[in-house]
């Protein structure tokens, strides 16, 4: 009899768990939205949860599976999300109806590093965007050019020294060294020589950030849990590192701009201006003070966005150039001609004039998107244009840049590396939402101009 009770008890527990982890799975069916069949517990992202596939590849697979649909309903664990395939709907969500989708919807503690421009939502994001947008204007980037030169020169010296010791390099590690030197010069005013004692610490930070963590999946399973428990996506060791880095730099500069025109100088200039207020998109006018914590959060996202992503993109670019010697030859000729015409000097204008280089860069980002997937959260109920669907407040909307970039409707033979896709007359006829390496609209990558320039510079 006891065995029977145990069996019944276990069966009841299994059934209860099954019901709990599938409780939302009729959400899209009840709204007549097509989508892949979800798996208990995992939803539609099993391969991502088990770290078998990158989440961008998983979203691309779902995108491809529904070629005739404008929108697709899917589940990240138990959380229903809407994948948008139609470019006009994407344009509405990202641009025309942006006031409904101002938030990314990444819910966790907004203290410490959570106050960064990428993850912040609502009034905090608006205030940060208003305050930090001027840092990335063309004029500011031009002023930073000599810093990129410093970082690049130090990197060349490093490679020259190392090449005397060995004949082969692991390219990705080499590119990481370059991006660290450039970011450190542009952001923190740290020279490559003085950076040597910080290299191990920076690598440790990178390991912590990139190491597998299931905290995001926990939020998919229990939306709002991280925020309610005041938990962060980032370990305290990372927070402490950037707090110390920023405090040291502020102390060295006596809390004032040093005249280097680097990222920290620009932030210190903003801090001298005092508080900033947000009154856009229906927000009540929150005041945000530029504290050392806020500065540390921006330094963190500047580092994360520029370090690994830049190194990875450059690695893919070098790979494609190696695999396509005709493209490599054409690019080399353009660079040589440009340098010859400018007496060997590399300037901001010189790089901008290298049209083929820019096309190679754009094609690399088409094939190897940086941010996957793009994510927005509806801050109120929204009727999806061109459909009968009305999504509820707090619904997460996803866009797959990789899915779009490999869609033959927009790019013929998408698996082929072809920079000529970005000839002005060709690209000009393409839908503006058919190319999304940095996102689009007001929540696109605020530093995309800097990323574009620094990647081309190498």
Cα distance between residue 147 and residue 140, in whole Å = 12
pLDDT for residue 289: 77
Q: At what angle do helices 448-457 and 355-367 cross, to 10 degrees?
A: 110
CA 89 to chain centre: 21
Q: How far is CA 301 from CA 117, 187, 305, 363, 375, in A?
A: 8, 11, 6, 25, 17
pLDDT for residue 217: 75
DSSP state at residue 112: G
DSSP state at residue 398: E
Cα distance between residue 18 and residue 26, in whole Å = 14
Domains and CATH numbers, the chain: 112-348 (1.10.630.10)
Buried b (16+ CB within 10 A) or exposed e, 302-326: bbbbbbbbbbbbbbebbebbeebee
Buried b (16+ CB within 10 A) or exposed e, 286-296: eebebeebbbb
Q: Say if residue 448 carries a ligand binding annotation.
A: no
List the chain residues with pLDDT less than 50.
282
DSSP state at residue 422: G
Cα distance between residue 98 and residue 410, in whole Å = 24
Beta strands at 374-377 and 396-399: parallel, antiparallel or unpaired: antiparallel
DSSP state at residue 43: B
Tokens representing residue 4 in the block: 């029977």
pLDDT for residue 157: 81
Predicted confidence (pLDDT) per residue in 214-243, tens digit: 777 777 777 777 777 777 777 777 888 888
Tokens representing residue 241 in the block: 């590192």
Cα distance between residue 14 and residue 47, in whole Å = 23
Cα distance between residue 330 and residue 195, in whole Å = 36
The H or E element that residue 19 is part of is helix 2-21
The H or E element that residue 390 is part of is strand 390-391
Task: Determine how many CB atoms are found less than 10 A away from the CB of residue 163.
Answer: 11
Contacts of 457 (CB under 8 A, 6+ apart): 148, 152, 346, 351
Q: How far apart are the first and last CA of the chain?
A: 75
Residue with tokens 């959260």: 377
The H or E element that residue 259 is part of is none
- Cis amide prior to 207 (ω within 30 degrees): no
pLDDT for residue 447: 67
């Amino acid at each position: 009899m006891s065995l029977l009770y145990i069996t019944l008890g276990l069966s009841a527990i299994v059934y209860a768990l099954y019901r709990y982890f599938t409780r939302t799975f009729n959400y899209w069916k009840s709204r007549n939205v097509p989508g892949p069949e979800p798996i208990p517990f995992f939803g539609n992202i099993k391969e991502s949860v088990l770290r078998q596939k990158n989440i961008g590849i998983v979203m691309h697979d779902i995108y491809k599976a529904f070629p005739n649909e404008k929108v697709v309903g899917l589940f990240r664990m138990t959380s229903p999300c809407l994948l948008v395939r139609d470019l006009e709907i994407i344009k509405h969500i990202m641009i025309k109806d942006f006031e409904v989708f101002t938030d990314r919807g990444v819910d966790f503690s907004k203290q410490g590093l959570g106050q960064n421009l990428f993850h912040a939502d609502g009034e905090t994001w608006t205030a940060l965007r208003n305050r930090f947008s001027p840092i990335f204007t063309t004029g500011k980037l031009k002023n930073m050019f000599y810093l990129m030169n410093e970082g690049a020169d130090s990197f060349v010296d490093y490679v020259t020294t190392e090449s005397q010791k060995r004949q082969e390099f692991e390219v990705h590690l080499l590119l990481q060294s370059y991006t660290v030197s450039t970011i450190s010069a542009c952001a923190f005013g740290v020279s490559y020589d003085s950076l040597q004692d910080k290299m191990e610490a920076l690598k440790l930070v990178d390991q912590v950030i990139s190491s597998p963590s299931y905290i995001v999946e926990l939020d998919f399973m229990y939306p709002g849990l991280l925020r309610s428990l005041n938990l962060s996506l980032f370990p305290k060791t990372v927070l402490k590192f950037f707090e110390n880095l920023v405090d040291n730099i502020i102390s060295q500069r006596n809390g004032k701009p040093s005249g280097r025109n680097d990222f920290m100088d620009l932030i210190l200039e903003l801090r001298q201006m005092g508080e900033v207020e947000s009154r856009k998109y229906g927000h009540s006018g929150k005041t945000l003070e530029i504290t050392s914590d806020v500065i540390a959060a921006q330094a963190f996202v500047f580092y994360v966005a520029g370090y690994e992503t830049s190194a990875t993109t450059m690695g893919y670019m070098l790979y494609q150039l190696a695999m396509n010697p005709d493209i490599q030859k054409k690019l080399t000729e353009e660079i040589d001609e440009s340098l010859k015409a400018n007496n060997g000097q590399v300037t901001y204008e010189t790089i901008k004039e290298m049209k083929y280089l820019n096309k190679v860069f754009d094609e690399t980002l088409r094939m190897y998107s940086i941010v996957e997937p793009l994510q927005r959260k509806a801050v109120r109920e929204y009727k999806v244009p061109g459909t009968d669907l009305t999504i509820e407040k707090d619904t997460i909307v996803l866009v797959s840049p990789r899915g779009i970039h490999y869609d033959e409707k927009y790019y013929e033979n998408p698996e082929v590396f072809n920079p000529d896709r970005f000839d002005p007359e060709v690209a000009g006829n393409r839908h503006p939402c058919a190319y999304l390496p940095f996102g689009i609209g007001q929540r696109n990558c605020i530093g995309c101009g800097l990323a574009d320039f620094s990647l081309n510079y190498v």
